[in-house]
Amino acid sequence: MTAAAQADGRRPTKPRPSLAVPLGLAAFVAITWISVSREFGINLDLGELAENITRGARILWREDDNPADRGLLSPNWVFLSQTAAPMIETFAMAVLASVMGCGLALPISFLVSQVTTPNRAVFAIGRAVLSVIRAIPDILYALLFVAAVGVGPLPGILALLFFNIGVTVKLLSETVDGVDPGPIEAGRASGAKGIQSIRWAVLPQVLPNYVAYSLYVFELNIRASTVLGIVGAGGIGRMLYREYGFFHWSNVSVIIVELFVMVFFIELVSIWLRRRLV
């Protein structure tokens, strides 16, 4: 039919335009309009924002006798020594939470992967629990754990732990879903059961990915642990929020520079290591 039409020199008929694109665009415009509107949304007014942008200037630079109050552009380096202890705490929280979280995530991932799950019930319940765990943001975990065990690094580590399990299990269980079934069959043929098959047929296949995910999660933890202190869960965030509360912008500036340097370099190292591994 089509060939005949082309032989006549006529063009093939254009495919009917899909309804999905205009519908999607309409939904996009509607949601955006509601979101920025004054009545139903967040009242985003670009004109007002442009006027207010000069308000930001007074936190960037100003004259003050107190070196802590001079603004973000003149960091008060004397303050640096006071930040050392909370910075170390931030880093230590991230390390401990990553190790524990990734350690726990490994067996859980095997429970909730289609390839290695012991039975359908464990798989279904595990997936449901994990989607709830992933739906709660790290800071809300921190709030709950601070209420449960008081302020300090302990609730912070716990919050990161739950956050880690959510991320690592999702990534790793999907990697396990995609392994080559050959080695598993070979293992089964030679009499391997359950854990043996996981240990010798699945684990070697996903190990490089697992190490890469662990490093990635460590990066996420470093970033997350810097703000947990805002709700009292240990680390530099507590000091950052306190200095912000006193409008000590020059001290805030020192902390921000430190955070930037730490996160930036850890990420560089981690990305380099991940590239070598996978």
Show the binding pattern over residues 140-159: x = contacts other proteins (CB under 8 A), - = does not: x--xxxxxxxx-xxx--xx-
Q: Residues 149, 233: contact at Cβ < 8 Å?
A: no
Q: Residues 173, 140: contact at Cβ < 8 Å?
A: no
CA dihedral 250, 254, 255, 260 (to 10 degrees): 130
User: Which CB atom, from 5 or from 60, has the smaller least distance to other proteins?
Assistant: 60
User: Which CB atom, from 78 or from 273, has the smaller least distance to other proteins?
Assistant: 273
Judged by CB under 8 A, which of 135, 189, 191, 193 binds other proteins? Answer: 135
Q: How far is the C-alpha of 226 from the C-alpha of 160, rounded, in Å?
A: 11
Judged by CB under 8 A, which of 160, 227, 233, 239 binds other proteins? Answer: 227
Judged by CB under 8 A, which of 91, 102, 109, 159 binds other proteins? Answer: 91
Nearest distance, CB of residue 115 and other proteins, angstroms: 10
Q: For residue 98, which of 206, 210, 224, 215 has the smallest C-alpha distance?
A: 215
**92 touches other proteins by CB under 8 A:** yes
Cβ count within 10 A of residue 158: 20
User: Which CB atom, from 98 or from 197, has the smaller least distance to other proteins?
Assistant: 98
**202 touches other proteins by CB under 8 A:** no
Q: Residue 112 in 3-state DSSP?
A: coil
Judged by CB under 8 A, which of 80, 203, 208, 267 binds other proteins? Answer: 267
**104 touches other proteins by CB under 8 A:** no
Q: How far is the C-alpha of 71 from the C-alpha of 250, rounded, in Å?
A: 5
**252 touches other proteins by CB under 8 A:** yes
**182 touches other proteins by CB under 8 A:** no
Judged by CB under 8 A, which of 80, 108, 203, 220 binds other proteins? Answer: 220
Stretch that binds other proteins, among 76-84, 135-143, 179-187, 190-198 (CB under 8 A): 135-143
User: Which CB atom, from 36 or from 106, has the smaller least distance to other proteins?
Assistant: 36
Binders of other proteins among residues 41 to 80 (CB under 8 A) are 41-44, 49, 52-53, 55-56, 58-59, 72
Both structure tokens of 71: 């603004």
Q: Residues 71, 216: contact at Cβ < 8 Å?
A: no
List own/partner pairs for 202-206 with CB under 8 A and 24 or more apart. Answer: 202/110, 202/115, 202/116, 202/176, 205/179, 205/180, 206/172, 206/175, 206/176, 206/179
